[in-house]
Chain A
């Protein structure tokens, strides 16, 4: 149940979002929808406009064009649009000369309501009760990330927006952060997180948007993305040059290329692979090895975001995903 069919406005609805800085178009017409209950990954390389987009969602910067609606409300029109929303962009920031608890007290006062009553619980959730009296200036990066989550939880949000929450954390910190986000999502919180850590996104998220140079190149379920990518195979033969030509000419076989000295291709179905095997034998290119590859989100991400954008591998959001080749030549 994602809440897509509940009739209530979705937690995040972004339409035609554009942000220009002079000649530079940092965000170039982003459309995305995060449904209630989603754990939504917002992916893209550095400079793709992810943080700018998140800032616009939080009302910190004004879009040049387009609209943002959080639970149906515009954050630029009213601060009430942020009532059920919390999170941080880039690193969470606090007053270094105040203690962790004092910072949370300040933010709770700025939230109003019962936020102050949740301070102890939030500190406990992120395991910082013992360090709450220390000045934040002395906190490690990981502790600041955690107090950032605690500050978000004070608002008792329905929607959590997190920008690179695991950046700079050690492996244990990353694991803990992942567990925390998973737990919050399991309690029904909608989460939108931007991340470079694709394995983390693949593990946590049910839907993703992949952004490249300010444009969404894919938006939808990770499962659909993988399904759309088709099955990818690696082939090694006695005559790779001839095998390459056979693969390119064979119906049902696509995205043929050489990766780390082996031929990589996608197949529409198992029958297409069987027919290819026969065609290779007939062409005198005997098969040494033919193995299916597991397509990861990382493979798909690189396929969608690398290159000059003119190779046809990137596709607009909503269209069928391409059939990317895995970047690694693992069996």
Chain B
């Protein structure tokens, strides 16, 4: 800041007319949020887990003494026969804590960390409306979660195929589908899986907004997800099962029946909306009206 430094021209002639300012929107926030995610460790922690867990799972299959398969869960007997089963088993077990945790790592952090670092006040005093910021961040969190799910699925397909081959797969109805058709079903299953994941994103965003504490929001999101699992196994609460978030993580299994059973998918859509939309709307309203007093 030497006194010889050049000056900023603020003469009227050098200023763009106030009304002519080109205003940024949601797209700008979204792009920069994605870029910021690229520089944060927690992003790589989540995406790293998405890559590593399927590989470890396949290694576990490889080094099992009894390689004939078996087990009391869907597709267990097919684990050593077709690699396409690996991503489906990952979806089955990942619903308990892995994918909710990976999702919460970013969704629970995305507002809270800005609060903690004081950067929210920095971005809120620029030329963006608050809803631009909210929408950009929410989209970025959803994009990250989607990326994590598809990376995990793809790694599972590749690793599973290396281990057990790119072979035909048996559906839950007992029919055999070809490997290409099986691959199509795997990716459709991943798409359906995004419905409850989107709800976890919404819950993460809500906790991130209202707690203003990254750790509390991430752990809180995971706890809520686990609470649904717990309610699902409590005796006497079986009637609640179809309406629990945890149940919706199994909706993709409808795709693996012949003919396709759409009812769990449709139910997942509205049950997840029932949880997700109020959470997202509350987060939005809180963010719009909140005082930014920290940092």
Contacts and interface: CB of A to CB of B under 8 A. Distances in A.
B119 A111 contact: no
B21 A91 contact: no
Given A61-B292, A112-B21, A127-B1, A93 B7 contact: no
A109 B192 CA distance: 35
B64 interface: no
A114 interface: yes
Nearest to B124: A60
B66 to A, nearest CB: 47
Interface stretch (B24-32, B142-150, B228-236, B267-275): B24-32
B48 interface: no
Interface in B17-53: 18, 20-24, 28-29, 31-32, 35-36, 39-40
B125 A125 contact: no
A98 interface: yes
Contact of A153 (B8, B22, B32): B8
Interface string B282-295: 00000001011101
A107 B289 CA distance: 22
A262 B52 CA distance: 79
B121 interface: yes
Nearest to B118: A93
Contacts of B16: 113-114, 156
A89 B121 contact: yes
Interface string A76-100: 0001101111111111111111100
A279 interface: no
B240 interface: no
A79 B1 contact: no
A151 interface: yes
B122 A93 contact: yes
A299 B6 CA distance: 37
Interface stretch (B78-86, B126-134, B177-185): B126-134
A180 B20 CA distance: 28
B255 to A, nearest CB: 40
A79 B39 contact: no
A188 to B, nearest CB: 6
Interface stretch (A116-124, A211-219, A263-271, A308-316): A116-124
Interface residues of A, number: 57
Interface residues of B, number: 44
B193 to A, nearest CB: 30
Contact of A109 (B5, B20, B28, B289): B28
B175 interface: no
A184 interface: yes
Given A121-B6, A176-B2, A110 B126 contact: yes
A156 B10 contact: yes
Contacts of B127: 79, 82-83, 110-113, 155
A289 interface: no
A90 B295 contact: yes
A146 interface: yes
Contacts of A80: 18
Contact of B22 (A60, A79, A113, A146): A113
Given A90-B118, A107-B126, A111-B127, 11 more contacts: A60-B292, A80-B18, A93-B117, A106-B32, A110-B28, A111-B126, A125-B6, A127-B1, A151-B122, A155-B127, A156-B14
Interface of B: 1-3, 5-11, 14-16, 18, 20-24, 28-29, 31-32, 35-36, 39-40, 117-119, 121-129, 289, 291-293, 295
25 contacts: A55-B292, A60-B124, A60-B293, A61-B292, A61-B293, A79-B127, A80-B18, A82-B125, A82-B126, A83-B21, A85-B125, A87-B125, A88-B122, A88-B125, A97-B39, A107-B123, A110-B128, A112-B22, A113-B20, A121-B6, A125-B5, A125-B6, A126-B1, A146-B1, A179-B1
The list of the 4 closest CB pairs from A to B, nearest first, reads A93-B118, A61-B291, A176-B1, A110-B126
Interface of A: 52, 55, 58-62, 79-80, 82-98, 106-107, 109-114, 118, 121-122, 124-127, 146, 151, 153, 155-158, 176-177, 179-180, 183-184, 187-189
